[in-house]
Each structure stands twice: as structure tokens, then as C-alpha cells.
A and B are shown apart, each in its own frame.
Chain A
Amino acid sequence: MLLKNTYNEFVKILAKPRSYLGIGALTLLIAVILFAMKADGSSFISFVTSSFEQTLSFNGNILNGNLIAFIILQMLIIHIPLLVALVTGDLISGEAAMGTVRMLASKPISRTSIVLSKFIAGAVYTLILTIWLGFLALIVAKWIFGTGDLIVLNSDGLVILQEQDIIWRYGLAFIVAFLSLLTISTLSICLSAFADNSIGPIVSTMAIIILFTIIGSLDVSVFDTIKPYLFTTHMASWRSFFEDPIPMGKIIQSVVILLVHNVILVVIANVKFNKKDITS
């Protein structure tokens, strides 16, 4: 039943116009960034590198696909959650809004299976979005801008990564970025179990992300104890793969915290949906 309903969820996601809105918006955003970089990328780069130019001399193609991919990831990891939540925040509440949840919940399939199939479908959608992001950011950008060494500005200075030392870092970075987005997906599906309309969960998901991000960026000691437990703190973890040496301990900690978030949110959503009186 779980498999059959997961298949159903795919059929529904594939037929919903909003699913393509996410992919379309992502494509458009990246196209805009690529265009901007192509048109005026060198001045954007020199803004960053000028402070080092006295001490270092850069040679080769700095404005290459590897750097563009880094810039795209950096910029979009804040915005893609909205595109994810647009689809996933509707998965349970949309059924309530449409009235179809009555039909679903009066079929011989457990409510737990219904919830789990939604999470699986949401995860697959998020994965597809991440892969599309990776394709556009890395493959298309490299095709347009060529390849080269990656120069990254970190809090503790400039890191220069050799061209052949980069691709595996991106591979791992995208896995962690996927896990971050998966947490958004899970959060919005969880909120969606509490709502009878789809706007509520989408807006709440974004509100939570914004709130947590602000808490995370405020340098106030009262927040210091909770900061490490906010999932938003760990959403930037993918960046750590571009440090030298890679702080594996820190990354593993982030991955564990994100995974724990996912498990807890799935459990909450499941308990809520199982207890819910379906009155819509």
C-alpha cells in the first residue's frame, strides 16, 4: 500500500502546475545569475579580489564554472526553500482543502502509510530540484564559463582549490545541500498536517526559516545556546567542503542534527495525522 500510494503521490505531483513553477523559477533565477556573470562578472570578481591583489597575483580563468556554481549555491540556498515548500507544504493540506482527504482516509490504507508516502514523494521532488540545481550550476556554468581553479573567500581567508580537487567537493556539498532542503520539505509537510489550506504551511515554513536565520545571525549571548540546534545554522554546512582542511567533525555534526530534525518532524506529522478528525 505504501508503494502504491507513493506512486499515486508522484502522479499527483507530476500533474500539479505548481511543481513546474518551482523548477521553472529555479531555472530562471540561475539564468539571470549566469547572464549577469557573463555580462559583468569581472567587475563582480574584482570587488572581492581587489583587496588581495597587492599581495597575490591571480592568473588563469578566475571567473570559471566552478566559481559560478559556488556563487549560485551561496545565493540560492536561501531561496530554494520557498520553491520546495511551495510543493511540499501543499501535500497534506492540499488534500484537505480539495476534500480528497476524505476519500484517501476512507480507503484501506493506514494513515501512517499516507503520511509516509507524502514524505517520500516530497523527498524525491526535493532531490530532483537539487539535481536540477546541480546540473544548471555546475554543468551549464562550466559549459559557458569554462573550468579552472576555485578561489573561495572564507572567514579565515582565501582558499585556492586546484581544478582537479573540486568535483568531489561539489558532490559531497550537493548531498549536504540536499539534506538541508530535505529538512525544509519535511518541515513544511509536517506543518501541512496541521492545516486545512496550503498557504498556511508555506508561509509558516518561510517564517520559521527567516526567524531562525535572524536568531542565528544575531550576536547575542542568550541565543548562543540554541543556535547550534537550529536547522538553519546547518543549512550552510555544504560550504565546509570548500575549506582546507575539511572540518569533517563539524559537517558530521550538522548532518546528524539535520537528520534528527527530519526524524522528529516525520514522527510529529504522523502522530498528528493519525489523531486528526477528518472533517473537511
Chain B
Amino acid sequence: MEKETVIKVEHLAKSFGSFQAVKDVSFTVSRGDVFGFLGPNGAGKSTTIRCLLSLIKPNAGKIELFGKSYTNSRSEILSKIGSIIEKPDFYKYLSAQKNLEIFARISGASVSKSQIGEMLEFVGLAGRGGDKIGGFSHGMKQRLGIAQTLLHQPDLIILDEPTTGLDPQGIVEIRNLILRLKNEQNKTILLSSHQLSEIELIANRMVIINKGKSIVEGEVQDLLNAQELVVHLEVDAVAKAKQVISSHFSNAQFVGETANELEVAIEKSQVPNLNKALIENGVLVFALEPKRKLEDFFMKIVQS
């Protein structure tokens, strides 16, 4: 049976004045997915997410959530979503408990005070419920943000860079939390990030966006096919190295070069032979660094 489509975005576009923040973004998220929304800073991730939550109105394109559109079913859609956009902000002059009560009251579900207490415990803020947010650290606010997204038991959870500003321990906790939500409660999760390493650890599907456009979408496994590598070489003679490589490996592709560096796309199994061939033919190899193709591709996007 075909999995239910939870998010469908088609050719989304949004401008701020004359600046096009999102030009052409399309992707589909199915029920039960942990969907990675990957892109460098300024790619348009948060803008797309704001469109998904009806915070801003797109100039063009189509958004469907749970098969419905905002024109007819806004509150029905939003009652099934929990979200953090950019950074979690709360009423500073209210306690954590009171903040959660405020958001729970308008979440569309009935949430009891004891459930709020349990939720605070769940995100590791037990005993801090009575403290004012003004005194909370960024990490604590981030945790409270997670509590806020989960309170009303939403089907879809949208997290915009939830691990920014967290310590390594906090990052691992969030990651485990996301996996638990997926595995134990079969939630659908959209997770944005500018780090491939973060996405590949937890997401099963992903889309990469850059400069307001979606570039590739698919299963993380397929996209990050570990067999296809780009090898970064630092050698004494680039021309000679190229000659050696082309004569030994007919399927190798040169993807970049500088005065003493060379990048070759090649299969993983051939890497030891590549090294051997270069050395046997008198090329001095100072460095050899294999990277997976998509990772290399993403790094280039980020650097450009």
C-alpha cells in the first residue's frame, strides 16, 4: 500500500521585496518519514518552513498538508502540527509551566497540568517548571521548545535546526528523541539542518536546497551511496597523475584540479589500486582523502 503523503510542496516561491528567498522548491514527505531538509545558510529553509506553517504567504506554488490546503482547512492542519521555527522564543516574564499552558490552551487539544509536568520531565526540565524563562539558557529553551511541539500529540513535527547552540550531549539527546518519536509513536518529522552529517544519522529521506531551489530529493541511503566516492589528492605533478589515472581506470572522472590538487570520482573498491598505481608510476602522494560523492557535492554548495 502506498504511504500517505503528509507534506506536498510543489514549485514554491517567495520574494521579500525584490529578493527571491525561495525560487522553486518541491518535495514530498510521507507518513513515518524522518525527512531531512538540508541546505546551507540562507538557502531558504526557514522561509519554506514558514510557508508550511502559514506564517507567510507564498507568491507561487502549492502546499498540501495531510492532503488539505490552507485555504480551506487551516486550523485542522495546524492542530496536527508541532513546530519550532528558527529559535524557540517564549514569554520571558512567565514560568516554563505557564508558557506551556498558554500554548497548550490554543493547540486544539486538551492538555492537563499533569501532562505538562510530565512533558517537562520528558525533556529534562523537571523541577524547573516554576522558573521564569528569562533565566533559561539557550539549551533549556531549546528543550522547552521541543516540549511545546509535542504537548498536543501532533502527527507532524517540524523542527527548524533544533540542535543549533546545543552542546554535544544535547545534540545526541535530541537525535535520540527524534528517533524515539519515529519508532515508538510513528510520528512524521521534518528536520532542517545545514549539516549533512546530522541529517544522515537520523533521516530516511531528504531534499537538498540551495539558493531557493530544491536540487536533489530521495532516500538518504541512495543519495549517500557509500560506493561512489570523490578522492581528493595532493600530488607533486597533477598532469602526470591524471595521465596515470586515465590509463589505469577507464571509469574515473576528474571533477576538479588546482596546481597540486586533483579530485577524482571513483568507486570505493578502486581506491587502494589508485594509490598503488600513482606510487608505482613515480607520482608523490602527499594526501589522499576519499569523500562520499554527495558529501563532496554538498560541501561545494556550502563553500560556493
Contacts and interface: CB of A to CB of B under 8 A. Distances in A.
B108 to A, nearest CB: 4
A108 B91 contact: no
Contacts of A12: 91, 94, 102
B78 interface: yes
Contacts of B103: 103, 107
Interface residues of A, number: 25
Interface in A1-37: 1, 4-5, 7-8, 11-12, 15-17
Is chain B's interface secondary structure helix, strand, loop, or mixed overall?
A: loop
A278 interface: yes
Contacts of A15: 91, 93-94, 98
Contacts of A1: 75, 106
A11 to B, nearest CB: 6
Interface in B85-100: 85-87, 89-94, 98
Contacts of A8: 102, 105-106
A247 interface: no
Given A102-B85, A106-B83, A11 B102 contact: yes
A98 B102 contact: no
Interface stretch (B52-60, B168-176, B179-187, B270-278): B52-60
Nearest to B51: A277
Nearest to A99: B89
Nearest to B83: A106
Contact of A278 (B56, B81, B83, B92): B56
Interface in B72-127: 74-79, 81, 83, 85-87, 89-94, 98, 101-103, 105-108
A91 to B, nearest CB: 13
Nearest to B94: A15
B91 A100 contact: yes
A15 B95 CA distance: 10
A98 B108 CA distance: 23
Contacts of B89: 98-100, 102-103
A155 interface: no
Interface in B25-72: 50, 53-57
B147 to A, nearest CB: 12
B286 interface: no
A105 interface: yes
Contacts of B92: 98
Contact of B90 (A7, A100, A110): A100
Contacts of B105: 4-5, 7-8
Contacts of B53: 105-106
B192 interface: no
Given A103-B103, A278-B56, A279-B50, A108 B76 contact: yes
Given A98-B92, A99-B89, A279-B50, 5 more contacts: A8-B106, A15-B93, A98-B90, A107-B106, A108-B76
Interface of B: 16, 50, 53-57, 74-79, 81, 83, 85-87, 89-94, 98, 101-103, 105-108, 148
11 contacts: A4-B105, A11-B101, A17-B93, A99-B87, A99-B89, A100-B89, A106-B85, A107-B103, A108-B75, A108-B78, A110-B75
